[in-house]
A and B are shown apart, each in its own frame.
Chain A
Amino acid sequence: MIRAGGAMTARSRGGRSPAFEVERIRQDFPVLGEKIRGKPLVYLDNAATSQKPHVVIDTIRQFLSTYNSNVHRGVHQLSERATEAYEQARTRVQGFINAAESREIIFVRGTTEAINLVAQSYGRTHIGTGDEIVISAMEHHSNIVPWQILCEQTGAVLRVVPINDDGEMLLDEYVTLLTPRTRLVAVAHVSNALGTINPVREVIRLARRQGVPVLVDGAQAVPHLKVDVRELDCDFYAFSGHKVFGPTGIGVLYGRARLLEAMPPYQGGGDMIKSVTFAKTVYNDLPFKFEAGTPHIGGVIGLGAALDYLDGVGLDRVTAYEDELLVHATEALSAIPGVRIIGTAKEKASVVSFVVDGVHAHDIGTVLDHEGIAIRAGHHCAMPVMQRFGVPATARASLAFYNTREEVDALVRGIHKVIEMFV
């Protein structure tokens, strides 16, 4: 994350932190050795999904090849081992985001499912006609559409906090949108389209002052920043395993136990019940009440390994190193005539969205792909952000701690080729 002006330039002159051995870290990620059309892969699409270290791949392989079985049901030894590993991963997640209790950690498919769970389970029981839900103008579609569905079902109203030209949330406007009808606030911790780090602590403090619960979409924050749900004092926090170097198909919903306990189940089925008769079914305790059916066991265990790995690298060092990369990328890209960065907030994670005069993002993506450089081109599932900035699409380079200055320089060379071709 970049913090205010002066320090940023000073740091950018400092060069790479000697403590951060990126070349050694790259060895942990087998895909980074791949070639694309004979050129080394430059993977700058980490906000879409991140790459997986050996340890994650090996952990999943070991589960599948030595103790694969179902959880919470078998009396046999394999099932005991799988259940233990599964529940250990839950404790791992709890520690990683500093939740008070492991039963506050619900495994879901990803951020999208976590938000839908809260919208349907919490929303349908606590939000009614004329009530208001507050989101920001920089949300991912997955933090917009579930609330629109809820509004349709209940007659509630969606209120949107505007953003300024740098892509920063307008806190003054937010304050005026918090009314006695506000029942829930849902905001991104970090914007996937702009890179903005939102002042979520302040957002939460203001909402909770009047008793309004807050859901934080942490999909893009957890890979870059240390997250502490108790320090944030949020009520719900959602993130996806695949964006934090873990597998796809697994994600986490953290919820305050008091709220989760009072919420009805999201889905019904096996594992989420204590007893079933045709007359009456008794639901299971947390967290199982929200984990109907056989879960993604390998995914959960793999996610645990990913978080262990990230802890080993150290999130503080990750954040510091990525700051340097971001400063370098921002300076180098802004120096190219015709390139405009979309999203220039003071506090940013290592995401750079940009447009090139006279060239569509899709063409940028195709040309860069030919240089072995993977970026994202499009609306990034945030069409309202594109509308806000008056562009049909942007190109986006999103950096992880295994990216290097040299890779950023390759991107810059690629963009020069783009301009040569189309302008």
Chain B
Amino acid sequence: MSDLRELYQQLILDHSKKPRNFRTLEGANRTAEGHNPLCGDEITLYLQVEDDVIRGIGFQGSGCAISRASASMMTDSVKGKTRAEAQRLFERFHDLVTGETDEGGDPVDLGKLAVFSGVKEFPVRVKCAILSWHTLRAALEGKGETVSTE
């Protein structure tokens, strides 16, 4: 059970049971949808971007504990960030969950997002963790299409 707890850290379970920013956003000026065909995870992301800064963010959808917690914590951590900052965070998060840490790289602090480090031991769950981030990028780039992790 011990390495299972590495994946399902208390903070992750907590966010999956009580996701933050789990709502549609009045006044959103960007939205995007994400879909993970493997497990049927679906997410709709709402952004309010002003002067290149993410002022408001919310999400809706259904999915596994990892994808819900990841979406919840992603929304918390990019609120108030510029587009470029959010993009850098995504890259660091991607490296974290895929295990491709490049040590000398960008010293962006992942903060609480570091609890997802256990995901790299579960290759089939990487897509769950990263779905909301792909959706964020699609929303920021203003692509109106559904992103898929396939």
Contact = CB atoms under 8 A, between A and B. Distances in A.
B1 A361 contact: no
B54 to A, nearest CB: 27
Contacts of B39: 360-362, 377-378, 392-393
A363 B64 contact: yes
Given A360-B63, A366-B7, A392-B62, A421 B40 contact: no
B125 A378 contact: no
Interface in B1-40: 1, 3-4, 7-8, 13, 16-17, 38-40
A362 B64 contact: yes
A386 interface: yes
Interface string A342-386: 000000000000000001111100110010000001110000001
Contacts, number: 49
B66 interface: yes
A363 B124 CA distance: 11
Given A360-B64, A363-B66, A422-B65, A392 B122 contact: no
Contact of A370 (B1, B42, B66, B125): B1
A360 B1 contact: no
B40 A366 contact: no
Report the interface size class on chain B.
20 to 34
Contacts of B42: 392
Contact of B128 (A362, A367, A392, A421): A362
A366 B13 contact: no
Nearest to B37: A379
Contact of A421 (B8, B41, B122): B8
A393 B38 CA distance: 9
Interface of B: 1, 3-4, 7-8, 13, 16-17, 38-42, 62-66, 122, 125, 128
Q: List the 10 closest A-B pairs by CB distance, nearest first.
A: A392-B40, A360-B64, A362-B64, A362-B39, A393-B40, A363-B65, A370-B4, A363-B64, A392-B62, A393-B39
9 contacts: A360-B65, A361-B39, A363-B66, A367-B4, A370-B1, A392-B40, A392-B63, A393-B40, A422-B16
